[in-house]
Amino acid sequence: GFGAVIAPSFADIFKNNSTKNGLLAIDLPEETVKNLLESVREDPETVITIELDELTVTAPNVHETFEMDDFTRRRIMEGLDDISLTLTREEDLETFERSRPGHLPSVQ
């Protein structure tokens, strides 16, 4: 498989859904995308490196930065899905459940 898609733009719903599933959707300028495609056409074994720490994409003749919010970057770097994100707040959830009045509906 692959872990990233690079294009000049993405629909918001695609970008949001892809990151929730661990797939990076990276917006780069159209000229940069063309350069990357040309590099891969010339040499299918071209290595394209994505550095999430630095928010950069590098390849032969390409060094480009991209934007990503901190929450999405953390989610991708730590491999967090919706459930694991919720479980990072497990202590808060347990505190809430203990403080919730007993007469209200709850899940047991």
Residue 10 DSSP symbol: -
Architecture of the domain delimited by 4-99? Alpha-Beta Barrel (3.20)
The model's pTM: 0.77
The domain spans of the chain are: 4-99
pLDDT at 108: 67
pLDDT at 9: 97
Q: Decide: 54 and 41 in contact? Cβ < 8 Å.
A: no
Residue 76 CB neighbours (<10 A): 19
CB-facing half-sphere around the CA of 61: CA atoms within 13 A:
12
Measured CA to CA, the distance from residue 25 to residue 57 in angstroms comes to 12
Hey, CA dihedral for 46, 44, 42, 11, is it positive or negative?
negative
Q: What is the mean pLDDT of each run of 10 residues along the chain (108 residues)?
A: 92 93 94 96 96 96 94 90 85 85 76
